[in-house]
Structure 1
Amino acid sequence: MKTAATALTFRDATDADVDELVALIESAYRGDASRAGWTTEADILAGQRTDPQGVLEVIESPGSRLLAVERDGRIVACCQLEHRGGHAYFGMFAVSPALQGGGLGKLIIAEAERQAREAWGVTEMHMTVISVREDLIAWYERRGYRRTGRMTPFPYGDERFGVPQRDDLQFELLVKRLG
């Protein structure tokens, strides 16, 4: 789908996109490059955010889609949508740090919600966010997501999810009713 106002193309990611997607996700969350945007986790997590196997699993998983968002033939953002019964799960959301803060994220999450409603008829979108990410949670709240207070532990010791720089990390479930 192309949107005239933004010249974005939304499409399902393929195996051929894995390396580009891993680089995008890493650049948005980890290391010095991530500091160009506001979604960095560099101060709370070191190491990797994802790897080729993790991205490929999302692409190939039944009931799951990894949307690649292109501008001028280059992937500039992505997000995971997974059908989980009456709701969809939203994850692996990344926007190129150079493009953050310009409204692109708002457009992408709105399109993801629309696609989840249309494709699966779901009435809610769920996501988990590291609970200490107050600025990010506030951004999602402005998009209509609400905090549930339901926490799940951070996978300490599993470096596939990063190397924690503090000992109080956990994930909070955020939920939005889709109308």
Structure 2
Amino acid sequence: MRKMDAASEKRLIEAVSYLKKISKDALMARLYQKILFLLELKYYQQHSRPFIGINFKSYKFGPFSFDVAKALDDPKPNSECSNEVKEKIDEILKEYNLNRFDRATMGKSFKKMIDYIHSLVFYNLTPFDCDFNFDNYSFEDLFERINSKLDGKKLEDERYKFALINQKAKEYECLFQI
């Protein structure tokens, strides 16, 4: 995992502070993670580089960043936020219909976000607990989607079964070598 530079940390604090401010601290913690992941992905799609430079890992219920978790724990929110950060976050909120911060709206938005993330091929190819690095995938693979309604638990079970099948296949491979 690469360390965030000072500019990335500043932009992350701005983003978290802005989300805290507009939601009046009502935004679910897991939504910060998904919103910022989608912001990074969308910006990467447009500019071939991340917007903030957040490190995310693949986890059962979607991407997770220790950088974001640390920023959420920061007791002193930054009240200043650049217009660029506001615009990018507002785009994601609009896309996922997160215009109110009540439980019902946040729940629907979270489901829409996680369904989209789980449908991404590269998300399904990244083993759990491994870092997402957009540069490791072809540009087309980053945005290719599969029609799937797998949840995190089912996806983890399937990945485990696949690993066992591969291991078993390697054991038999030597029997077919001449």
- For the aligned pair, the TM-score class normalised by the smaller chain equals under 0.3
Give TM-score, length-normalised by structure 2: 0.26
| Structure with higher RCO (Cα < 8 A, 6+ apart) | 2
1 or 2, which has the higher helix percentage? 2
For the pair shown, the structure with the greater C-alpha radius of gyration is: 2
